[in-house]
Chains A and B, each alone.
Chain A
């Protein structure tokens, strides 16, 4: 028996975390960075960090926000490394790249417009929006992921939603 495959924190093994979160985390990362190849690389980095840190996780209840925090931090680190992306300002770089990226279905115009609008948000706003809208995290969980207050997150989500709506109808 490989003990490293059964590394235990409060009743959680790496295998269990992998089974439960590999696909949700992939899609979270994909929505953040758009490119399939980049998402794959970031997903692997994320699970390496999860494996290394699993022993330090105190409560099983915090698992979901913990794994999303690791994935989000990896995404933000990746985006900050790209000189053409500013982490503080809205940008259209990823949105502009979307249609020319492989692994994008161009036939669904509405979904494409929606995603372009999402990618045009700042990475912080995109994080809040995707975690709330797609991953159904509570504001309290998102607060654990991002380190922001619940009130700030509610405002950020509202603004992000408005921007996406405006982008869709324009």
Chain B
């Protein structure tokens, strides 16, 4: 049995295509360059993501100036009128020829 082992030695039935190891060496030697490019891409992507998140946060979370609506101004104005002033204003509005034309 030992003889059989020794006869075979380290022989293997495997073969590789011609020039395989030269071509593989080229591929493997390119790994540092590929890794560097992928590292740069990862850093740029991370920086872009940070900028995007910061921009979204800035525009959504920043304090906004109080918006004053026209309807609020009108409401305040109406509340400041006395009943007599309000009646006369309504009457004026109903008889205003221009407002009537706009309604039509």
Return the contact of B13 from the options A22, A27, A111, A168 (Cβ within 8 A).
Answer: A111
The 8 A CB mask of B5-18 against A (1 = contact, 0 = none) is 10110111111110
Q: Which residues of A from 1 to 31 have beta carbons under 8 Å from B?
A: 2, 4-5, 7, 14-15, 18, 22-23, 26-27, 30-31
User: Which A residue sits closest to B11, measured CB to CB?
Assistant: A111
Q: Is the CB of A104 within 8 A of B8?
A: no
| Residues of B in contact, count (CB < 8 Å) | 24
For the complex, what is the distance from the CA of A111 to the CA of B28, rounded to whole Å?
Answer: 30
Partner among A51, A133, A134 whose Cβ is within 8 Å of the Cβ of B35: A51
Contact (Cβ within 8 A) A18 B29: yes
Could you tell me if B17 and A103 are in contact, using CB atoms closer than 8 angstroms? yes
From A7, A31, A40, A168, contact of B12 by CB (8 A): A31
Number of residue pairs spanning A and B whose beta carbons lie under 8 angstroms apart = 88
Q: Are B14 and A47 in contact (CB under 8 A)?
A: no
Contacts of A107-164 to chain B: CB distance below 8 A: 108, 110-112, 114-115, 133-134, 161, 164
Residues of B near any A CB (own CB < 8 A): 1, 4-5, 7-8, 10-17, 21, 24-25, 27-29, 31-33, 35-36
Give the B-binding residues of A (Cβ under 8 A): 2, 4-5, 7, 14-15, 18, 22-23, 26-27, 30-31, 34, 36, 40, 43-44, 47-48, 51-52, 98, 103-106, 108, 110-112, 114-115, 133-134, 161, 164-165, 168-169
